[in-house]
Every structure is written in C-alpha cells, then in structure tokens.
Homo-oligomer: A and B are copies of this chain.
C-alpha cells in the first residue's frame, strides 16, 4: 500500500501544465496591447469581440470578419449557439463518447440527445445516416473532429465529406468543435469541414486555451453571417462585450508571431507525454486497449473486464486519478477511462501508470 500523504498524480483535467505556457510572451503581449491600443483595450467593446482579433481570425480562416464572433472561452460560444438553436425537446446528435460538459449543457436545455458511436476514425456516419433516414431531424450535430475529448480520435477525410453531405441533405447545423486542431504532433492536418462547406451548414468553434493559456478565456465561433448575427444579439444581452483586455492581449500575442512558437513548444511537450503514456501502458498494463492519438490532450483506454467504477477509489488510494468513461456517455463505458496527459510530465506519467497498474492488480 502506498503512503496516503503522497501527492496524487492527476490524469483528470484537460489543461496544460504551467511549464508549457509562454508566460514571458504573454507579459510582453500585455505591455504591447495596453500601450498600442488603450482605447480598444480598456473601453467597453462590442459583443463581436475585440475587432483586430476578429479580423486576424477571419484572415486565418479565409472568411469575412462578419462570420466571426470572439467570446469568453469556447464554452461560452457553445452555450450561445445552443441557446440559439436548441430548445427543449429538439433533437440533437452527439458522439458517444463526447465532452461531458456538452452533454450536460444539452441535457439542461432539455434536448433529445442521440448519441452515435464514435469509431477510431470518427463518428459512425452509417449509424448517423440510419438515424436520419428513420425520420429524426436534429437541429445540430456536435462533432469534435481532431484529437477528440475524451477519445483522442481524429475524424477521417472521407467522413468529413460525408457529414457535410448529410448536413446539407437533412438540413442540420454541423457544429465543428475544434479546440485541439493546432496540437497535432504527427501526421498531416486535415482540412476543416468549415473550409469545405458549400451550404452554410457548418458553425466552427475553437479557442486559445490549448495553445496559449486557458486562463485567458478566449474562444470563437466562425459560421454563416446570419447565424453569427443572431449569436451576437444573445451575446449583447448577456454581457455587452466579452473581455477586451484579454482579447487585446491575445491579439497582440498572435500578431507578434509568438503563437507559432508557443504551438511548437506545446506540441513537442505533448508528444513526449503521449509517448511516455503509451510506453508505460504497454509495459504496465499490456491488456489495455487504446489508439494512440496523433495530437491533443487525451487518450481513451479500455481495461477489459475491469469495473472502472470500482477502480476509481482504489486508484485514488494508490495516488492516481482519472475520469471514468461513463461520464462521457449516456450509457455504458463501464470498462473505459479518459487519461489526460496534458497536465503531467513524462516522469509523472510513468509513475502514475505504475500506480494505476498496481491499483488494477489489487482489484482481482
């Protein structure tokens, strides 16, 4: 038995550790932002966000600024979009598993949630098509295309194309929720569905939480002008304007070129963490089933025959914590868990998986 006073190793939270945040760059960006544009930084802004950042994002995505709205984190962007599109009783599609807060938010809105199996190359589009053919008409389908939370999987190019077709054919919003896109550490990036959307069906969301710092709370939506305009009205009523000080710092940081540098650092660190996790699992828990992600923060691990419900408290006693798979599902997930490797160093990962294996062995 491990000593109870030992600090737990946390695979729980999808947050970067402080060592991969460019603190000096952010300090410089704040100085520059406050000096170069005090008017835009300190005054009330508008509900579309800090205008120069909106323009920068529009350029990045090759769209018009009127298609972009910058928010206090992408969670707030999601909440606005759901407020606009999803009323009680409305059908919506999510992936199974999916981000637990999305599930919670949609549940609280009283949505009729259809969870479609997530495969290692993304949502099962055949199952989705069958659902649509059965007569269900969702308001939206929520899709996390890259380095899925919680699964770590990436949506294939073919499935992206199929989803675009289905959304046009059955007239639903394809909500492309893409906060991890830049945290790819191997393989070629795939084009966003947004960039291939010919039917104004995609609303895209992303964030600076994974590439700059979560505490900056800066996310954004990109979509058809008419949708963005309606979201803007909700944003105005909610908070007049999002945080101008934070968005002005983000803008200054992005335009300084340091974002690219920061992304490289984040990728390098996370690749090493992923590698450490894969190596430790193969060594300590050879029965574990998983697909190593090509990017992002998370890995979905199945331990056949192990009750994760029972494992959680035992693992905690052994000094290691994670989130049980069932939190990301409407049903099932009894043998699955999410391991977040973003906030732990390779050494901690190695030790953490050793502890996890000891906990698993102690169950039998």
Which A residues contact B (CB, under 8 angstroms)?
13, 15, 18, 21, 23, 26-27, 30-31, 34-35, 38-45, 72-73, 75-76, 79, 101, 104-105, 108, 209, 213-217, 237-246, 248-249
Contacts and interface: CB of A to CB of B under 8 A. Distances in A.
A78 B271 CA distance: 43
Nearest to A219: B239
Number of copies of this chain that the complex holds: 2
A60 to B, nearest CB: 21
A18 B31 contact: no
B72 A215 contact: no
Contact of A27 (B15, B30, B45, B104): B30
Given A44-B215, A215-B248, A216-B243, 12 more contacts: A18-B39, A23-B42, A26-B34, A30-B31, A42-B216, A43-B214, A76-B239, A79-B239, A101-B240, A215-B244, A217-B239, A243-B246
A72 B101 CA distance: 20
Task: Name A's interface SS.
Answer: helix
A34 B44 contact: no
Contact of A240 (B26, B41, B73): B73
A71 to B, nearest CB: 9
Contacts of A41: 215
A35 B34 CA distance: 17
A227 to B, nearest CB: 19
Given A73-B240, A79-B239, A217-B244, A31 B42 contact: no
Contacts of A237: 79, 101, 104-105, 108
Given A31-B30, A245-B246, A239 B73 contact: yes
